[in-house]
Structure 1
Amino acid sequence: MVEFELYRLCSNESSWYGRGADDDVLQSVGATEETPLLQTVPRQQYRRNVGAFIVVGLLLVILLGGFAIGVYLLVLQNNAENILPPVEEMPIRHVNGSEWDQSDLLVLSTQPFHAETVIIEQTDTRECENLNSCVLLLREIKATFGVNNSLPYNFLVSSDGTAYEGLGWSQLSPLYPELSPLVLTFLGNFTRVPPPIEQVFMAKSLIAASLSKDFLNKNFTIIGKRTKEVPKYLFEQFKDFPRWKEE
């Protein structure tokens, strides 16, 4: 009986010491018996983190979208620098070189035509308004370049708005080889009077057609060249082009 009581006393004492030690550990970490062994992130804090990630993601999307729009607008601005000013729809009244020049001296190039510059100038001559008078004038002008030479202009435009083919779109004009030019020459003298509106429209229609056919670089420069005199009234008709130069 004495041994049995002693065993109970020892067992109770060890249990008491064990529970006391465990309680001390739990109290030291601020936990209770109901505290789970594996801690989990509170649901409210998790939602806040997810919300923050969503907000940051939206801001990045907006930033990237703004950057893309900015690049697109810069490209549009760059392309718009040489957009042809509005030209009224006008069919090109075109006379082939073979119809007015019977010499058969023109040797057309087989190289692809692609101009970098448009040259505007005048012939410093009288004007012409119909086929007969213009053919006569063209032959007179051609004679000044020599019997064995062709006119070094791509197109010559008359007062009635007809385009007479010189070199056409077959080869670049040899007048300004460093410029790779498309030379549009106005038949007449416009130092004191402006050219007829039909003549101006035809020249702009030729530029538009050259662009659409890819015969002219979209970033072309248009240059007004003086001959004997400065055709100021002619040049005024083309100063609305963004990349206009007068020489």
Structure 2
Amino acid sequence: MELPLRILNYHETRHNTNHTEEEPPAPVTPEENTPLLHRFPNNGSERNPVTTVIVSLLLVILIAGVIIGIYLLILQNDSENILPPVERPLQLVSRSQWDTSDGDQSALRSFPYRLRAVTVVQTGTERCNSTESCTKLLLEMQNNVTAVNATLPYNFLISSNGQTYEALGWLKCIPQATKNTTPTGLLLAFIGNFTETPPTQSQLQEAKNFFDTSVSEQYLHPSYRIFGKNKNDTPTHLIDSLKAFPQWSNEFSDKN
């Protein structure tokens, strides 16, 4: 009877052993994980005030830099798009454009280098406002000239619409025109009669262009002076307008 009992006990022991191996592991209690968590505390949810201030300051600097860069770029583009003011160049009509006769100028005298004076007069005629009407008027004036070479005694003439017409040019003058006159220089005529009405703004602007061009081309000395003529038909309004020029002189070129 002992043998069967041993066999029974053996089977029960095997059954218990197998049952124990098949049982799932016991769950881990929170107390067992807690020590590891306490060794490495999680402070991610807490913000350092100093770090926040530094990050905010860097962000403000970055935004300010971007704004300044955009502003400077806009200023640069605007400065590139803005063109400097351009003065209207001299509206010169050469002698050959309005007078095709090509008259003999052998009696004319050459001017000295870099004149220091410009005498301003009026033609005493009607005004003209276009190349066509001015050409017609100038040819009529030239046909009525009885002086040397039957040519206009002016170096240049300025029309009401702001054109400069070449007559003798920068380098020539009529000998008689320089006798008993002080000082000697270019003779610039304003086309029209200005004893009662002033010259147009286009004429005055073209006169400025003429003076500037004459200086830059070295026909006039930079310290030149502008003179009027004191005769019976003094162009009072023309002289009053020219007094605004810094080169204007209160003396007259034909003073006695």
Class of the TM-score when normalised by the shorter of the 2 chains: 0.5 to 0.7
Query: Match of 1:54?
Result: none
Other-structure match for 1:69: none
Once residues 128 and 197 of structure 2 are traced to their aligned partners in structure 1, the CA distance between those partners, rounded to angstroms, is: 15
Distance, in Å, in 1 between the alignment partners of 2:202 and 2:208 is: 10
1:175-190 to 2 correspondences below 5 Å? 175-177=177-179, 179-190=183-194
Question: Following the alignment from structure 1 to structure 2, what is the Cα–Cα distance between the partners of residues 93 and 122?
Answer: 19
1:46 aligns with none
- The percent of aligned pairs where both chains have the same amino acid is 36
SS at match of 2:172: coil
Distance in structure 2 (CA, Å) of the matches to 1:162 and 1:243: 21
Aligned to 1:55: none
Tell me the distance in 1 between the aligned counterparts of 2:120 and 2:211.
Answer: 11
Per-residue deviation, 1:170: 2.5
1:191 aligns with 2:195: yes
How much has 1:228 moved relative to structure 2? 4.6
1:65-107 Cα offsets, whole Å, 9 max, x none, are: xxxxxxxxxxxxxxxxxxxxxxx82211111101111221142
Matches within 5 A, 1:21-100: 89-100=87-98
Counterpart secondary structure, 2:250:
strand
- The answer on whether the counterparts of 2:158 and 2:190 sit within 8 Å (CA) in structure 1 is yes
Q: Which amino acid aligns with 2:249?
A: W
Is 1:244 the counterpart of 2:249? The answer is yes
The corresponding residue for 2:151 is 150
Equivalent residue for 1:214, pick from 195, 214, 218: 218
How far 1:110 sits from its partner (Å)?
Answer: 6.5
The Cα offsets for residues 24-67 of structure 1, whole Å up to 9 and x where unpaired, read as xxxxxxxxxxxxxxxxxxxxxxxxxxxxxxxxxxxxxxxxxxxx
Q: How many residues align?
A: 160
Tell me the distance in 2 between the aligned counterparts of 1:160 and 1:244.
26
Q: TM-score, normalising length from structure 1?
A: 0.59
Offset at residue 183 of structure 1 (A) = 1.1
Distance 1:186 1:114 in 2: 22
Correspondence 1:61-140 to 2 at 5 A: 89-107=87-105, 113-140=113-140
Q: Which amino acid aligns with 1:176?
A: T
Residue segments in structure 1 that go unaligned for 5+ positions in a row: 1-87
- Greater relative contact order (Cα < 8 A, sep 6+): 1
Contact between 1:220 and 1:243, CA under 8 Å: does it hold in 2?
Answer: no
Q: Is the 8 A contact 1:113 1:171 kept in 2?
A: no
Give the letter for the 1:155 counterpart. Answer: F
Cα gap change, 1:204/1:106 in structure 2, threshold over 3 Å: closer, same or farther?
farther
Q: CA deviation at 1:242?
A: 4.4
Q: Structure 2, unaligned stretches of length 5 or more?
A: 1-85
Amino acid in structure 2 at the alignment position of 1:218: P
Amino acid corresponding to residue 101 of structure 1 in structure 2:
D
Which stretches of structure 1, 4 residues or longer, exceed 3 Å deviation after superposition?
Answer: 108-113
Whether contact under 8 Å (1:115, 1:172) holds in the other structure is: no
Mark the CA change 1:101 to 1:146 in structure 2 (over 3 Å): closer, same or farther.
farther
- What's the RMSD between the two structures over aligned residues? 2.3
Give 3-state SS (helix, strand or coil) of 1:127's partner.
Answer: coil
Deviation, 1:223, is 0.5
TM-score normalised by structure 2 residue count: 0.57
Q: Deviations over 1:86-136 (max 9, x none)?
A: xx8221111110111122114276666532211111000100001111111
AA at the equivalent of 1:170: L
